[in-house]
Amino acid sequence: MYFLRGVDGIYYWDGRSDPISPIFSSRNTPVDLDPDRRGRLYIVNDRRLYVYDRSNGTELSGLPAHLGVSSVRSPLTKAGVVLAGTTDGLCLSRDYGITWEEVEVRGLTLAQVFGIYLDPAAPLTAYLATSRGAFRVSLAALNPSHKRRRVSAR
């Protein structure tokens, strides 16, 4: 299966059919492949997080509606882990996006996370582009915030 992201949407091609088929037909922001599950994409669209799994697109409903999602990343070294940058910080899922926890990053308080970038030379290191500057984060040290509540899927 092949994926193509264009200015007007995201498309897939299975290598047999013609032409390519749309997954989302509106402008999309960040997209990331799940390194553990072939054919699975995490897609940010209209400040919401969706998962596409070969034949369907489903909104991941575990994130609170007030947290607009602006970025997504699924690290290669941590099975099941998905990071979501939101209007209020960073959220972490350890079960492929079914449940989420807001995580506390030292110095990152009430800041929007615009981008999550993984360091190819140090797979457990991520860089966050935020409204308060850039932050370096160790994925091995990410722990759920004790000050914030755990958020579960509906």
Q: Mind listing the pLDDT tens digit for each residue in 13-36?
A: 566 666 665 565 565 566 666 766
Average pLDDT over residues 72-79: 79
The helix or strand, by DSSP H or E, that contains position 5, with its residue range, turns out to be strand 2-6
Average pLDDT of the residues of the chain = 74
pLDDT in the model for residue 43: 74
Q: How confident is the model at residue 130 (pLDDT cuts 50, 70, 90)?
A: very high
In order, the DSSP letters of 24-88 are: E-S----EEE-SSSTTEEEEEETTEEEEEESS-EEE-TTS-TTS-EEEEE--TTSTT-EEEEETT
pLDDT in the model for residue 25: 56
3-class state of residue 20 by DSSP: coil
More confident site: 45 or 11:
45
Q: Which of 12-21, 84-93, 116-125 has the lowest mean pLDDT?
A: 12-21
pLDDT in the model for residue 19: 65
pTM exceeds cut of 0.85: no
pLDDT in the model for residue 20: 63
Average pLDDT over residues 102-111: 80
pLDDT in the model for residue 146: 45
Full set of structural domains in the chain with CATH: 2-151 (2.130.10.10)
Cβ 64 vs Cβ 151: under 8 Å: yes
